[in-house]
Amino acid sequence: MKVSFPLAPEPEHEASEKGRLLFAGPVDFVKGVVAMNGLPPADRPEVCFAGRSNVGKSSLINALTGRNGLARASNTPGRTQEINYFALGEHSYMVDLPGYGFAKAPVAVVAKWQALLKNYLAGRPTLRRAFALIDSRHGVKEVDHEIMKLLDRSAVPFQVVLTKTDKISSQALTQVIAQVEEALQKHPAAYPELVATSSDKGHGIATLRAIIAGLS
Ligand code: GTP
Ligand code: MG
């Protein structure tokens, strides 16, 4: 039977308010981690943002927190090379991951941080949900399936977030949603709801805030 992946509905007033308040509170950069033994203690829930280089992970964290430049965003794919931890007050951690699939760095360096990414996704007990970011202009690619398979095997629920929707028409959005829905049929860990976002225009940001606030 086919699983459907509708867009997340607009949050109810109470959920929306909870999300707004959480992100209006303190958000602090905790640390950049380059090895598993550098991770902060697993003492609270966390969510992470995974996706190909340049998909818009850091921009999305900036949009959620309303603090530009909190997570570095750049035009150079492969910019975020560490696992960056942000604390949402005492509530939870948000984790900005290094991009996969492309990197302007020596092969050995790329191999090292891809290994770190995999170890992190497979072995973090407090990871409540991974947001798998997909560029709405490109849909799900082979490298995305690789990461999704890892999340399936690690039993980490993941939710697809479409990024940069300001760059496409509403017809193109409908088409990419169908492609994503098809691609997700193979992934048992996929949460059956998508979020369409634009960090530039703010679309979907309140919805994502409410989802994160509701996770713990
Ligand atoms: P890495 O750290 O290299 O893995 O990249 P990233 O996934 O963190 O992407 P980043 O947020 O650095 O964004 C990459 C580029 O896409 C930047 O030039 C952003 O300005 C642009 N971008 C990100 N989100 C949006 C969006 O919602 N709309 C538009 N139009 N551009 C965006
Ligand atoms: Mg980044």
Please check the confidence at residue 105 and state whether its pLDDT lies above 90: no
Q: Evaluate if residue 103 carries a pLDDT over 60.
A: no
Tell me, in angstroms, the distance from the centre of ligand 2 to residue 132's CA. Answer: 13
Is 65 near ligand 1, meaning CB less than 6 Å away?
no
pLDDT at 108: 77
163 within ligand 1 shell (Cβ under 6 A): yes
The tokens describing 212, both together, are: 């994160």
3-state secondary structure 47-77: EEEEEECCCCHHHHHHHHHCCCCCCCCCCCC
Express each pLDDT in 140-194 by its tens digit.
Answer: 999 999 999 999 999 999 999 999 999 999 999 999 999 999 999 999 999 999 9
pLDDT on residue 92: 97
Mutate to test the pocket of ligand 1, among 48, 53, 54, 83 (most ligand atoms within 8 A of CB): 54
- d(C-alpha 79, C-alpha 152), whole Å: 27
Tokens for 136, please give them. 């709405």
Mean pLDDT of the chain: 92
101 lines ligand 1 (CB under 6 A): no
* SS3 at position 196: strand
13-214 has which CATH code?
3.40.50.300
Spatial neighbors of 8 by CB under 8 A, at least 6 apart, are 193, 194, 195, 204, 207, 211
Residue with the larger pLDDT of the pair 100 and 211:
211
Residue 148 in contact with ligand 1 by CB distance below 6 A: no
Using a 6 Å cutoff on CB, does residue 75 contact ligand 1?
A: yes
**pLDDT in the model for residue 187:** 98
Query: Which atom, in ligand 1's list, is nearest to the CA of 198?
Result: 27
Distances (CA, A) of 111 to 52, 58, 71, 83, 117: 15, 21, 23, 15, 10
60 alpha carbon, closest ligand: 1
User: With a 6 A CB cut-off, is 62 part of the ligand 1 pocket?
Assistant: no
Per-residue pLDDT tens over the stretch 49-78: 999 989 999 999 999 999 888 887 766 666
Write the DSSP string, 119-167. HHHHH-TTEEEEEEEEETTT---HHHHHHHHHHHHHT--EEEEEE-GGG
Ligand 2 (single-atom ion) residues, CB below 5 Å: 57-58, 80
pLDDT reported for residue 109: 73
Quickly tell me which residue has 């170890």 as its tokens: 119
